[in-house]
Structure 1
Amino acid sequence: MTPFLTRRRLLVGSAATLGAIGLTGCDDVVQNSNVQSVLEMAEQLTIRSQRLLVPKDKLAREFSEADISPTFRPNGTSQPDSEDYARMTENGFSGWRLKIDGLVERPVELSLADLKKLPSRTQITRHDCVEGWSAIGKWTGVPLGPILQSAGLKPGARYAVFYCADELEQTLDGSGTYYESIDLIDAFHQQTILAYALNGKNLEVAHGAPLRLRVERHLGYKHAKYLMRIEIKDTFSGLWGGKGGFWEDRGYEWYAGI
């Protein structure tokens, strides 16, 4: 008998397959319009199915202290290649500010100290990487929804776009700089936090210091590290490849829900 294939395993497996395509021949995928069309149709089906089957406020599984992984492997970049970022680390991120702008009534800039004064949330969750590994960690940070609400979302606001300090490719137009995005449904989910601590300690550089996104119902590449700016937008037009993220511009699916 064929083993029962859970919905979660199906989604993770599909994303992992797409990840393998992206790592070994992403340009071929992007340049092949037929393949790209099929992927985009499949992604729309995934989004609709996820929204239909999973209540918007349903929580990702949380674990106990005893379940925390002895080591938590960094995902993506472990050391941004940026002189500006190097200076920030030398100063303990004292000059770092998170900018929130775009379709908001009151653009703001928040220091790490400002964020740590706000009500926090701690959650022990599992990080699932598209490369096929998982780890459980305890994250502490500020829920994103209330921050966006305090900035005053304008009519038409639909997406939160996260700009990061790490540059994965040297490009003249900035398209090699890491960025990600989520819609406001996920932005206001109670487990979506701007995390500044892992396992009771301030984030290390390898894990995204000083601040990273934790959006627990998505695969790991959505959890943007080294956050510098959040822009609220109504569309992805004007964002480099127009797909809503660094890897998405290179063939990955935008909605990586699990």
Structure 2
Amino acid sequence: MADPMNRRGFLTRASLLSSSLLLSGCDPLVQQSWFRNILYGAENVTRSVQGLFLSDARLAPEYSEADISPKFRANGTIRPDDDDYTALAADDFSNWKLEVGGLVERPASYSLADLRGMPSRTQITRHDCVEGWSCIGKWKGVPLAHVLDLVGLKPQARFIVFYCADTMEQTLDGEAKYYESVAIADARHPQTILAYEMNDQVLPIPHGAPLRLRLERQLGYKMAKYIMKIEAVESLKEINGGNGGYWEDNGYEWYAGI
């Protein structure tokens, strides 16, 4: 049987190749419907290939303490330009709460202390960025599946959407903030956690404090930082651009599997 790491490498390179087109002066192409169809077709191939190799429960590789990168580059925003977030950060997020709602039986909100009091998982994993770099870090947080079990998903829930504090651009309708989404199967994967620690320290602001998603079998832009709210939904079509995430609304793949 082929080495699973080689399979992962193949999938990683394939995803990086398709996404890198968007980082190399091809942005005008993204506006063309025929080019979007090519991208979405490639996404379906990525999902199909990964489905052949990886079960829903298969784990991404985990590493030892000795493998942790001496410097872990921060992806995306490094400090949200948002007054409410700045006020929360100034108070060490003591007044921050994670809202969990949508298609759930028991909507709730949780403080950092609440989340820290829940069952936790610690994992040392590799972060693969769409820009082509990788780092290994240690993460601790509450499994997302545990939070979903607490609130109770309704049968029609198919996706989990993450709403974040970082503003990406100013639009005619106001501020466009970062958001992401995952399918329920990926939300319930054992390595999908809401991380509040990195490398045995409180999660730093450049890496998404107070809470970020770790979705270890997908590319870095899927791992939403500065999470403020989680919502269970049946469809992504009516949310912002309708493609399931800020970068997806700008042409990236929704399923960024590696």
TM-score by length of 2: 0.94
Q: Tell me the residue number matched to 2:97.
A: 97
> In the alignment, does 2:37 pair up with 1:31?
no
Supply the distance in 2 between the matched residues of 1:175 and 1:249 (Cα, whole angstroms): 15
Q: How does 1:101-250 map to 2 (within 5 A)?
A: 101-173=101-173, 176-250=176-250
Does structure 1 retain, via aligned residues, the 8 Å contact 2:194–2:213? yes
1:168 deviates by 1.2
Amino acid in structure 2 at the alignment position of 1:73 = R
- Give the deviation of 1:46 after TM superposition: 1.7
Q: Aligned-residue CA RMSD in angstroms?
A: 1.6
- Which residue pairs with 1:76 in the alignment? 76
Flag structure 1 segments of 5+ consecutive residues without an equivalent.
none
| CA deviations over 1:57-109 (Å, ceiling 9, x no partner) | 11111101111111111010001111111101101101111011111011110
Gaps of 5+ in 2: none
| Equivalence for 2:57 | 57
Q: Give the Cα separation in 1 of the matches to 2:44 and 2:72.
A: 32
8 Å Cα contact 1:175/1:240 also seen in 2: no
After the TM superposition, which of the residue ranges 14-23 and 55-64 deviates more from structure 2?
14-23
The count of residues paired between Structure 1 and Structure 2 equals 254
Relative to the length of structure 1, the TM-score reads 0.94
- Preserved CA contact (<8 Å) 2:15 2:257: no
Aligned partners of 2:45 and 2:15: how far apart in 1?
A: 14
Deviation at 1:172, TM superposition (A): 3.6
In 1: Cα distance, 2:14 partner to 2:173 partner: 31
> Which amino acid in structure 2 is aligned with residue 121 of structure 1?
R
Distance 1:29 1:18 in 2: 13
- Asked if the contact 1:203/1:210 (under 8 Å) is kept, the reply is yes
Q: Distance in 1 between matches of 2:221 and 2:174?
A: 19
Cα distance in structure 1, aligned partners of 2:161 and 2:59: 22
Cα deviation for residue 112 of structure 1 reads 0.5
| Contact residue 175 and residue 246 of structure 1 kept, 8 A | no
Contact kept in structure 2, 1:29 and 1:251, CA below 8 Å: no
Partner SS, residue 182 of structure 2: strand
Query: Which one is further off, 94-103 or 164-173?
Result: 164-173
Evaluate the alpha carbon distance shift between residue 175 and residue 23 of structure 1 in structure 2; reply closer, same or farther with a 3 A threshold. Answer: farther
Structure 2 vs 1, CA of residues 21 and 174 (structure 1 numbering), >3 Å: closer, same or farther? farther
Q: Deviations over 1:166-202 (max 9, x none)?
A: 0111124357210111101110011000000000000
Q: Residue deviations 1:142-186, cap 9 Å, x none? A: 000011011111111110000100011112435721011110111
Partner SS state of residue 16, structure 2: helix
> Sequence identity, in percent?
56
State the distance in 1 between where 2:239 and 2:30 align.
16
